[in-house]
Amino acid sequence: MKAKDYLYMFLGVIITITILILCFQGISSTSDKIAFASIIVNVVIAVLVVAYFQNRESNSRSLKDYFINQISGIKCDYDKFIQQIKDEKLTPNEIKKKFKDFSIKNQQLEYFLKTELKLNTIYIQEQNRKIHKLITNSYEFNNLYDSIKFALENSTNNELIILHKDFNHHITSLIVEINKT
Amino acid sequence: MEKILIRVIDFTEYPGVRYKHQGNNDSGEDFYYEVIKPAFEKALNQEKILSVDLDGTAGYASSFLDESFGNLVYDFPFEEIKTHLEIKSFEEPDWIDVIFKETLKDWKRKKDENQPRKPER
């Protein structure tokens, strides 16, 4: 909730209480006054409770949207990275550096997903590491390390397709999980 | 137990690949024979833990780490490796699990099957 919303809510409560007090002054018996006062208190509590939960829900949705945007960004960048490898646009050194960048981003994201949304079944970094090992452990990567151009062999490329598909599957599953929390 | 601390970045900022003949003296094989093996021997003799910090480099090929630490299995008792080796990484902590739960176990299986540590060229 924005500050403006809080202000309107506060003004509404004050006006309601004022009207109720004016009505209260018209009541003569003590028991009627007590009953009337309890109604005022219950109304105020109800308003505050609704405001609290509405605010919490709004904050929770914002947080989920933030994480979903972050994950979508990683997916987009990762898809581009894998395509660059397949298109022979990266040297082995560049590939290593990019894997490290992704590794750090993934781990930071996983940390906050675990602590803020209590999600424990997150496999983005695990899947990234499998792809990293496939490529950097390959015969062609190790034997063409000093080359400007680096091309995957067909067998490595086929395995990469499967692992990349699994990576994207985990990303999509994670987004679904976040929406369910 | 006291520790002997070494950092990969002191050996090279740009760790290479697996074997000496594939790189520019920055391979996992180079790192093992020049740094890890003598340091681990020293740690065992002095009853200390060898602590290796992986941070600060420009990133790793998994073959570099595999060769750097897997070779320990062929030169030292497996149980001593588990108790006297520590890997540290704040940047990529999952490498620690990869080395202890995969690399060392894979190399032990290779050694138990009497495979040579390095395939013939």
Instruction: State how many domains chain B has.
Output: 1
- Substitution target in A90, A96, A147 with the highest count of B β-carbons within 10 Å is A96
Partner-chain contact A103 B92, CB within 8 Å: yes
Domain-embedded: residue B53: yes
Mean predicted lDDT score pLDDT of chain A: 86
> Does B20 fall in a domain?
yes
Q: What is the pLDDT of residues B72-119, one digit of tens each?
A: 999 999 999 999 999 999 999 999 999 999 999 999 999 999 999 888
Residue contact B23–A93, C-beta within 8 A: no
**Nearest partner of B87 among B63, B111, B70, judged by Cα:** B70
Q: Is residue B12 part of a domain?
A: yes
Provide the shortest C-alpha distance from residue B35 to chain A (in Å): 21
For residue A76 the two structure tokens come to 């987009």
Tally of CB atoms within 10 A around A109: 19
CB contact under 8 A, A142 and B91: no
Residue B121 falls inside a structural domain: no
Nearest to A141 among B58, B59, B61 (CB): B61
* Domain annotation covers residue B120: no
Distance from CA of A62 to the nearest CA of B (A): 28
Residues from chain A that touch B94, judged by Cβ atoms under 8 A, are: 103, 107, 125-126, 129
Is A129 in CB contact (< 8 Å) with chain B?
yes
3-state secondary structure of A59: helix
Best CA proximity match to B62, nearest among B89, B98, B107: B98
Range of the domain at B46: 3-112
**Which residues in chain A have their CB less than 8 angstroms from residue B66's CB?**
137
For residue B105, being part of any structural domain is answered with yes
Q: Cβ of B60 and A136 within 8 Å?
A: yes
Contact B63 A142 (CB under 8 A): yes
Distance CA A62, CA B109 (A): 50
Is B86 within a domain?
A: yes
CB B79 within 8 A of CB B108: no
CA distance to A12, A20, A43, A60, B30, per residue, from A9 (Å):
5, 16, 13, 21, 70
Give B61's contacts in chain A (Cβ within 8 Å). Answer: 92, 96, 136-137, 141-142, 145
pLDDT in single tens digits along all 181 residues of chain A: 566 677 777 777 777 777 777 776 776 677 777 777 777 777 777 777 777 777 777 777 888 899 999 999 999 999 999 999 999 999 999 999 999 999 999 999 999 999 888 888 788 999 999 999 999 999 999 998 888 778 999 999 999 999 999 999 999 999 999 988 7
Q: Which residues of B touch A99 (CB under 8 A)?
A: 59
Whether residue B67 lies inside any domain: the answer is: yes
pLDDT tens digits along A81-105 = 999 999 999 999 999 999 999 999 9
